[in-house]
Amino acid sequence: MSIDGLTDLWNRLFGAQPDPPPLLVLVTALLALLVVLTRVPWRIGRNAITIAHEGGHALAALLTGRKLRGIRLHSDTSGLTLSAGRPTGPGMVFTLLAGYIAPSLIGLAGAWLLGGNRITLLLWIAVALLLAMLVMIRNVFGIVSIVVTTAVVLGVSYFAPPDVQAAFAYTGVWFLLIGGVRPVGELQRLRRRGGMPESDADQLAWLTRIPGLVWVGVFGAVNLLALLVGAAMLAAPALDGLDLPL
């Protein structure tokens, strides 16, 4: 690639796009909220939350020195990440803790990038993370899920006009921030009915002797805080563009 080509690529990746219209920020937030609150769209969109959830387990396992064995994504939107290492200790605790908070923290990182109007950079980072995760997928449905998701994000980042990229990126980040909260409530409802005896919260309870309900509370508190901070980041560029009376 020529120097001019590298320069163009650099500018495309790291250059800031214009501030989004306030209406775009509001509409994409409402769209993400609608998906989270309605049954069929949530059932489809929840696969993205599962990808982020299992990716959080996988990254935490690697960061704590555990050996990652593989990731499985299932058609019922559940998933499983297998790692080898000590069955107890801080590494295992951190690995279990990372799953439910990962979608919201990824959304928060995305909000930070969008707050700086780095829309294209956000989309390309998403593609890179999905491709890195793909090599660890160990079942057909998981491979198809990651490939389809990667193709959609890559297609938007490469072929779509800037306004479509902005709408897609904002919707995706809002969905991670808002959608990261709902699984925590679903988890506690299932726990209360005895439906998830080996959930992340219950495994953490066994490891730490801290009740599972406390860990559910930690998941919820982290995700709600991420939603509040992320929403402020997403709204800031749009509000800066408004001529508000003092």
The mean pLDDT of 62-90, rounded to a whole number, is 95
Query: Model confidence at 194, in pLDDT bands (50, 70, 90)?
Result: confident
Q: What mean pLDDT is predicted for residues 76-95? A: 95
pLDDT tier for residue 199 given thresholds of 50, 70 and 90: very high
Q: Is the pLDDT of residue 14 over 70?
A: no
| Residue range 153-177: mean pLDDT, rounded | 95
Q: Give pLDDT tens digits for 106-144.
A: 999 999 999 998 999 999 999 999 999 999 999 999 999
Q: Which residue has the tokens 């930070």?
A: 112
pLDDT at position 243, please? 52
Kindly state the helix (H) or strand (E) to which residue 168 belongs, with its residue range. helix 162-179
Q: What per-residue confidence (pLDDT) applies to 18?
A: 80
What 3-state class would DSSP assign to 241?
Answer: coil
The count of C-alpha atoms lying within 13 angstroms of the C-alpha of 112, restricted to the half-sphere facing its C-beta, is 7
- Mean residue pLDDT across the chain: 92
Q: How far apart are CA 46 and CA 42, in angstroms?
A: 6
Residue 246 has pLDDT above 50, yes or no: no
pLDDT-wise least confident of 9-18, 74-83, 135-144, 163-172: 9-18
Look at residue 5 and tell me whether its pLDDT is greater than 60: no
Residue type at position 122:
L
Q: Where are the domains of the chain?
A: 21-240
Q: Which of 51-65, 158-172, 229-243 has the weakest average pLDDT?
A: 229-243
Output the CA–CA distances (angstroms, integers) from residue 225 to 107, 218, 232, in the order listed.
12, 11, 11
Average pLDDT over residues 13-40: 90
- The pTM is what? 0.92
